[in-house]
Amino acid sequence: MARRYSIPVMSGALTPTEILTAWEAGADAVKVFPAEFFGPAYIKAIKAPLPHIDLVPTGGVNENNVGEFLRAGATATAAGSSLIDSKAFKEKNWAAITAKAKAFAAAAKA
């Protein structure tokens, strides 16, 4: 259905077999989760035999390591709790959330 309506598909996987299976099933990119347990070196290792698969690490990606994941070959990264602090969100502290997002973006760009 996603293909019919030109909606990108990002399947989740962890192992090389799962990543290849997701791509062969039609995923446009594969979300590698949880990335924090293996780090950027894992993305680099996966990209060596599978350079044609777009990888998007998530789970443990933060402003301290986002650049490393991108340099390792990730097409993009995803972040949730490391990007938006739940306390700041509950308090509607938009300034803190904005500052964190800017730091994350700057780290990615660097």
Q: Determine the average pLDDT of the residues in 5-31.
A: 96
Q: Binning pLDDT at 50, 70 and 90, where does residue 49 land?
A: very high
pLDDT in tens, 70-95: 999 999 999 988 888 889 999 999 99
User: Looking at the predicted structure, is the pLDDT value of residue 10 above 90?
Assistant: yes
Give me the pLDDT at residue 48, please.
97
Per-residue CA distances from 94 to 55, 84, 89, 107 (Å)? 30, 10, 7, 20
User: Looking at the predicted structure, is the pLDDT value of residue 41 above 90?
Assistant: yes
108 lies in some domain: no
Cα separation, 23 vs 65, in Å, equals 25
pLDDT in tens, 93-104: 999 999 999 999
1 lies in some domain: no
Domain that holds residue 35: 10-80
102 lies in some domain: no
Count: domains in the chain: 1
Q: Say which CATH number the domain at 74 has.
A: 3.20.20.70
- Is the whole-model pTM more than 0.85? yes
